[in-house]
Amino acid sequence: MIPVLMYHSVRERPPPETAALAVSPGAFAEQMALLADGGFTPVPFSALAGGPAVPRPIVITFDDGYADFHERALPVLAAHGFTATVFVTTGWLADAGDAAAGRPLDAMMSWGQVAEAAAAGVEIGAHSHGHPQLDQLRDGPLREELARSRGLLEDRLGTAVTTMAYPYGYSSARVRRAVRAAGYAGACAVANRLPAAGGDAYAVPRLTVRAATSPGTFARVVEGRGVTRAYARDRALTKGYAAVRRGRYALGRVRPRD
């Protein structure tokens, strides 16, 4: 089982909106050093489908595309020769211009910085265009979110974009079918468990790394030890809220715009 780590922001003093899911630059550097010392080999998220034949594979992912990835995380990754996958919310980018959508929670990368990350060997995936709750969108807006983000990334970067991550981790069977139909080869959620052999390529679980993740917890979960215990509360909340969200959609209580 290959661990898939989920990061968001690497920042010393993050704003309240991202603080819970941020890690300090010092903590991130220590975590990457632990992976290097442990003989782990980071691979792109897309490599999971082929079963990467490298020593101790692990996947490092970042959601949203915050500017601190380019400023703080990328130099650390480069120093170790590590790759990562960044799932970009295209409508949030600093120079999105007329294509701007949604409300970024912190300073975002520019298109030029996304291209620089890609040139440095970072895999770029999609994270929707405006960061909506995809499972609450009707079919038309859902298809638009999936197609627009991928189309913009491919046009700007000149390379195929085959992977995505669900905003907030929310998906459903309907959303996953739409992701497949949109041409993506795989997608990741959160789930806070290790991927199982033969699992759904459109619901790959990840392990959240956050401000409260201690060095000991990080060391254990990347080794595949104590994962259930470390994330017991997260998984219980996720399971309960998923049931609520299915009910909301079915009853039409959430009325997103078309």
Q: What is the pLDDT of residues 11-37, one digit of tens each?
A: 999 999 999 999 999 999 999 999 999
Structure confidence at residue 213 (pLDDT): 95
User: What is the distance, to the nearest Å, from the Cα of residue 19 to the centroid of all Cα atoms in its chain?
Assistant: 16
Q: What pLDDT shows up at residue 256?
A: 39
Alpha carbon distance 87, 139 (integer Å): 22
What pLDDT is attached to residue 198? 84
What value does the mean pLDDT take over residues 100-122?
97
| pLDDT tens column, 173-229 | 999 999 999 999 999 999 899 998 889 999 999 999 999 999 999 999 999 998 988
List Cα–Cα distances, 9 to 19, 67, 179, 199, in angstroms: 8, 9, 25, 28
Q: Which of 83-87, 139-143, 238-242 has the lowest mean pLDDT?
A: 238-242
Distances (CA, A) of 195 to 82, 141, 167: 21, 30, 19
- Whether 21 contacts 8, CB under 8 Å: yes
pLDDT at 229: 86
Q: What is the pLDDT of residue 96?
A: 97
- pLDDT level of residue 235 (50, 70, 90 thresholds): low
Beta strands in 135-175 (DSSP E): 163-165
Q: What is the mean pLDDT of the chain?
A: 91
Structure tokens at 79: 């120093």
Which value, to the nearest 10 degrees, does the dihedral of the CA atoms of residues 238, 72, 102, 213 take?
A: 20
pTM of the model: 0.91
Q: What is the pLDDT of residues 114-163, one digit of tens each?
A: 999 999 999 999 999 999 999 999 999 999 999 999 999 999 999 999 99
H-helix or E-strand containing 173? helix 173-181
